[in-house]
Amino acid sequence: MATEWSVPPAWPGETVFILGGGPSLAGQGAQRLAGRRVIAVNSSYIAHPFADYLCSADRPWLYEHRAALEKAWRGRVVTVTDAIDWDGLLHLRQ
């Protein structure tokens, strides 16, 4: 059963980088963000596997990446879709 989650205040005063999941990320040197606060969107977690959060509203994408995320992802995974659930998946109300 999905558990609703509310975004807590985090990182006051810090710069946060949001990495989009599109092809323009390739070659941008996401590794330069090591040690920074990062929110990854969809497949950008591959370029920056140490992001604090991974956000996706794409149910098919979540199904496709679920096994890899459950196995190796250390950050939090956040979604707005209630059509998928696993331990640790955070659900935001739309």
Chain segment 34-82, per-residue pLDDT in tens: 889 999 999 989 888 889 999 999 999 999 999 999 998 999 999 998 8
Q: Which residues contact 30 (CB under 8 A, 6 or more apart)?
A: 19, 44, 47, 48
The answer to whether 36 touches 17, Cβ cutoff 8 Å, is yes
Which residue's entry shows tokens 């040197």? Answer: 29
> If you compute the radius of gyration of the chain from its CA atoms, what whole number of angstroms results?
13
Q: Where are the domains of the chain?
A: 16-21+32-91
Could you read off the pLDDT of 71-92 as tens digits, one per residue? 989 999 999 988 888 888 899 9
Which residue's entry shows tokens 């250390």? Answer: 74
**What is the 3-state secondary structure of 9-32?**
CCCCCCCEEEECCCHHHCCCCHHH
The whole-model pTM stands at 0.86
